[in-house]
Structure 1
């Protein structure tokens, strides 16, 4: 029960002195005796989805500012109750005016390790990245947006690993449906339309040198060919239909096509690809997942 003698008024004029600040309770930095549960290390503890506008470089040197969702974590050793969560944000804000790329994450994570007195750190920046896409035949153009994430991990020996994630949307025309449609036309003179569906290739690559988002998009375009379109007139829709017929693919084909392109990239150390065809024939999705196969790597 709250004492009736306590003041129930917020005083905006109250000034914090150093002595008063030092007197504030600090349970998270308390002794190990305060730990609840098993006294064991925690691999990642921190804050997810704090947002701010960050600058990213284009291949031509242009800078683009994007609303970015940040996940920041550090490792917590045994015998430590917790971390100062607000330092995750405060440490990151030291870099808020800088240009972000994968190597920049190394700097932020070193700051995390220093500011939070921890042995490891992890950082993920997620954003929607716009790239101008030209229409297939009408000479129009529009912004295609890609779900992208940059990820960095720094271990207790300051070994740094960097990753890029991309969701690439494409159309997948079913080869089986195409052949069955052609059979109906040829054998019975019956009109039939093969089915296709919007599909997504979720690609994660581990890199040993910088890669632009545009580069990873170009790799996926080369592999899959049938990227969904932004600006479409009738001539573009016809071109897209022709393209789908020329590049029919099962979900297994899609995964192997992306594998083939990624495996040729020297800066790509490891990768995993998950293709999802959101079926128009079935009420369920078709999924294929493939990885480079590096021992102990991405799965």
Structure 2
């Protein structure tokens, strides 16, 4: 057994007097709880090194502070407790602490019509910072949906009209004959193009917010868009999805405006920015729209 004290190189002064904005660890694996969901997340955590003469920080103290998030409900008080501990263990060294937690939360979502249900994952990121100006907590989530082009829908309708004129020239069409025609490939000669699309929502939480409004954020976005991607479906669900797309024709500008209005209604949010990406099936490039409110 070595009776000599273990060397602490980090406690030695540096030969390069210079403060650092952020020092810490990235990619720490943590099992956490978000609502009813168990999530394996990755954590980046660190502090500023404001003492220009200090060699380094105490990495192990940050790691031990991060463990307070393990297996407990992730909420604002739990995050603030970790930041407080990071600063408390680095007195005279650091004036700010921050963390970023990112992962995917699984949510069970019902089918549109049938009794089926399935699971979807939503990538999320939580960013928190505490310094002399106070505390800032931001929550980001990604929502996937379907978008059908209004222009393409109008062009498809015109082609169907023209085919009707061609197939029923200058005569009164029989009801049954037209009904059969509408249900045939001869009648529906064109369909609008649609694509899987993504909305990335970043919100800044109010100072009195205690619980992370992740589910409220997801539900609000999906309700505003009207066409979230589905999991398990039967033909009745697929038909209902086609109806939802037809009733929610969207350019990327339309989607961004819908989401902007929905986020303004969330009481836990005092600022946000959003970005929608429509991965065009017509073009080899994406259509993108962005919006923000109170974000600086």
TM-score (norm: length of structure 2)? 0.84
The DSSP-based 3-state class of the residue aligned with 2:15 is helix
Matched, 1:181 2:163: no
How far off its partner does 1:152 sit?
1.2
CA distance 1:241–1:97, shift in 2 (3 Å):
closer
The DSSP-based 3-state class of the residue aligned with 1:93 is helix
CA distance 1:213–1:95, shift in 2 (3 Å):
closer
Residues 200-250 of structure 1, C-alpha deviation per residue, up to 9 Å, x if partnerless? 110011111134321111110121110000011111111111100100111
How far off its partner does 1:128 sit?
1.4
* Alignment size in residue pairs: 267
User: Unmatched 5+ residue regions in structure 2?
Assistant: 165-187
Match of 1:5 in 2: none
Match of 2:12 in 1: 30
Match of 1:201 in 2: 199
How far off its partner does 1:138 sit?
1.4
CA distance 1:187–1:42, shift in 2 (3 Å):
farther
Matched, 1:43 2:21: yes
The DSSP-based 3-state class of the residue aligned with 1:20 is coil
Inter-partner Cα distance in structure 2 for 1:277 and 1:113 = 42
2:37–2:105 CA contact under 8 A, matched in 1: no
How far off its partner does 1:140 sit?
0.6
Inter-partner Cα distance in structure 2 for 1:119 and 1:131 = 38
User: Unmatched 5+ residue regions in structure 1?
Assistant: 1-14
Match of 1:11 in 2: none
Residues 39-87 of structure 1, C-alpha deviation per residue, up to 9 Å, x if partnerless? 2x3322211111021223x2xxxx4321111111211213333323333
Matched, 1:148 2:124: yes
1:70–1:125 CA contact under 8 A, matched in 2: yes
How far off its partner does 1:25 sit?
5.2
Q: Which runs of 4+ in 1 moved over 4 A?
A: none
The DSSP-based 3-state class of the residue aligned with 1:160 is strand
RMSD: 1.9
Inter-partner Cα distance in structure 1 for 2:69 and 2:284 = 46
How far off its partner does 1:122 sit?
0.9
Inter-partner Cα distance in structure 1 for 2:273 and 2:69 = 30
Within-5 A mapping of 1:21-170: 21=6, 24=7, 26=9, 28-35=10-17, 39=18, 41-56=19-34, 58=35, 63-77=36-50, 78-117=52-91, 118-157=94-133, 159-170=134-145
The DSSP-based 3-state class of the residue aligned with 1:33 is coil
CA distance 1:183–1:273, shift in 2 (3 Å):
same
How far off its partner does 1:97 sit?
4.3
How far off its partner does 1:20 sit?
3.4
Within-5 A mapping of 1:236-251: 236-251=237-252
Match of 2:292 in 1: 291
How far off its partner does 1:193 sit?
1.6
2:102–2:126 CA contact under 8 A, matched in 1: yes
Match of 2:182 in 1: none
TM-score (norm: length of structure 1)? 0.83
How far off its partner does 1:94 sit?
4.1
